[in-house]
Amino acid sequence: MQIAIASGKGGVGKSTITASLLYLLKDDYSFVAVDADAEAPNLGLLLGVTEWDEEREHIGAKVARINTESCVKCGICYERCPYGCIYIDDEEGNYVVNELTCEGCNVCGLVCPVAGTITLEEVRSGVIRKATTKYGFPLISAQLDVGRPESGKLVTEEKEWASKLMKELNLEHMIVDSAAGIGCQVIASLGGADVAILIAEPTPASLSDVQRAYKVVQHFREPAYLIINKADINPGFRGLEEWAEKEGIPILGRIPYDRAVPKSMSMLKPVVEAFPDSKASKAIVEIAEVIKKEILG
C-alpha cells in the first residue's frame, strides 16, 4: 500500500508527525519512507540519518544558454521567453539567460534566427539519496538544487526507486511525506497513492491550504484522513472540524500543542522516541493505533 502525507501549508508539523508515525509502525510493518519535499527535505534529519548508502544525481532539468559570440543581439529571444528569463547584461549589452529562473522550454532556441546560438543544456537538478535508518527501514530522499525547475520529476524518480526497493526487499508499504503547496511535487506525491493523510492545524490559513490539498486528493479519487495538529491552540475556531465533517473526512486524531515537539526536533529524534510520556506523544501513539486498524489492517 502507498500512503501519502500532505498538508498544503508548510510548518504545520507534517514531517515531525511522519517521523513519529514511522517510528511507531516500524515494528509491525515493513515499509520504505520517501521524503518528497525536494525543496526542503527534513525527514532524514529527523530520523537521525548521517550517512547515505547511495546517491544518484538527477540530470533532468534543462536550461537555455546563449552563445554571445554568434548572437546578433536582435532581442527576439528576450521578447519571446514566456517567463521573462532572458535579460540584457548591463555591462556588455549581451543577452543572457537567467539560469535560476529558466524553465527550459526551448522557446528562445526555436525563435532565435541564428542557428546554434541558443542551446538547451541538461543540467543537474538535484540528487536522490537512499539511507538505511537506525530504525531499520530504508529512506529515499531527494534534494532539488537551488533555482531549478521540475521538482515533480524528481519526486516521480524517487518513487520509482522506492518501488524497486519494495520489490527487492519485499516490503509491504511506501509512506510518502510530500512537500508543502499543491504543485507538481505534491501531485507527484499523491498520484498513485492508495490513501492520503492530511495534516492541518486549527487556523484559517492552514484550513484554506488543506482544503486546496484535499481538492488535489479528490482529483485522484483517493480516500483521505485528517490529523489535527496543535489542536488546542485556537479553541474558538471550529472551521477545520466542521469542514472535515461536511466532507466526510475521518479524523484520525488530535495532537495537542506541546513544547516537547520542538525540543525533540532539536534533539533530532521523533517526539515519541525522545519524550514518550509527553501529551503529544500519547496522542500520536493513539493515532498510530487507528492507522494500524483502519488503514493498514
Partner 1 sequence: MQIAISGGKGGTGKSTVATNLAVALRKIGVKLTLADLDVEAPNDHILLGVELANEKPVNQFMPRFDYSKCTKCRKCAEVCEEHAIVTLRDGTPFLMPTLCSGCRACEIVCPVPGAIQEAFRTIGHTYVTPTPYGFTLVTGKLKEGEERSMPLVVAAKRRAEEVREGLLMVDTAAGTGNTVSKAIESSKLLIAVTEPTPLGIHDTELILELGRLMGIPTWVVVNRADLGEKEKVYELARKYGAEVVAEIPYSENIVRSYVEGKPIVLTDYPEAEIFTGLAKRVAEFLGGGE
Q: Which residues bind partner 1 (CB under 8 A)?
A: 8-12, 15, 39-40, 42, 45-46, 62, 82-84, 98, 100-107, 110-111, 120, 144, 146-149, 151-152, 179-184, 186-187, 203-205, 208-209, 212, 215-216, 219, 233-234, 237, 262, 265-266, 268
The CB-of-234 to partner 1 minimum distance in angstroms stands at 5
Pairing of strands 86-88, 126-132: unpaired
The CB-of-76 to ligand SF4 minimum distance in angstroms stands at 4
Based on CB atoms, which residue is closest to partner 1, 109 or 165? 109
Q: What sign for the dihedral angle of Cα 12, 160, 149, 187?
A: negative
When asked if residue 72 is in the footprint of ligand SF4 (CB under 6 A), the reply is yes
Find which of ligand SF4, partner 1, none residue 11 binds, CB within 5 to 8 Å per kind. partner 1
Find which of partner 1, ligand SF4, none residue 76 binds, CB within 5 to 8 Å per kind. ligand SF4
Residue holding cell 519512507?
33
Measured between alpha carbons, how far is 293 from 297 in angstroms, rounded to an integer? 5
When asked if residue 165 is in the footprint of ligand SF4 (CB under 6 A), the reply is no
β-bridge mates for residue 118, sequence order: 66
The CB-of-77 to ligand SF4 minimum distance in angstroms stands at 3
Three cell numbers, residue 249: 473526512
Interacting stretch for ligand SF4, rule CB under 6 A, among 32-40, 68-76, 268-276, 288-296? 68-76
Q: Which of residues 117-156 bind ligand SF4 (CB under 6 A)?
A: 117-118
Q: Residues for the chain: how many in total? A: 297
**292: burial class by Cβ within 10 Å (0-12, 13-18, 19+)?**
middle
Nearest to 74 by CA among 40, 49, 111, 99: 111
Phi, psi of 148 (to 5 degrees): -105, 150
The CB-of-206 to partner 1 minimum distance in angstroms stands at 9
Find which of ligand SF4, partner 1, none residue 58 binds, CB within 5 to 8 Å per kind. none
Pairing of strands 2-6, 195-200: parallel
Find which of partner 1, ligand SF4, none residue 86 binds, CB within 5 to 8 Å per kind. ligand SF4
248 CB neighbour count, 10 Å cutoff = 7
The CB-of-263 to partner 1 minimum distance in angstroms stands at 8
Residues 74-103, one symbol each (x = binds ligand SF4 by CB under 6 A, - = not), give xxxx---x-x-xx--------x-x----xx
Find which of partner 1, ligand SF4, none residue 74 binds, CB within 5 to 8 Å per kind. ligand SF4
The CB-of-292 to partner 1 minimum distance in angstroms stands at 27
Residue holding cell 492545524?
201
When asked if residue 207 is in the footprint of ligand SF4 (CB under 6 A), the reply is no
Secondary structure (H, E, C), 205-216: HHHHHHHHHHHH
Q: What sign for the dihedral angle of Cα 186, 190, 192, 193?
A: positive
Find which of partner 1, ligand SF4, none residue 244 binds, CB within 5 to 8 Å per kind. none
Residue holding cell 489535527?
228
293 CB neighbour count, 10 Å cutoff = 9
Q: How many residues bind ligand SF4 (CB under 6 A)?
A: 26
β-bridge mates for residue 184, sequence order: none
What is the number of alpha carbons within 13 Å of residue 272 lying toward its C-beta? Answer: 21
Query: Interface with ligand SF4 by CB under 6 A: which residues?
Result: 64, 66, 71-77, 81, 83, 85-86, 95, 97, 102-108, 112, 114, 117-118
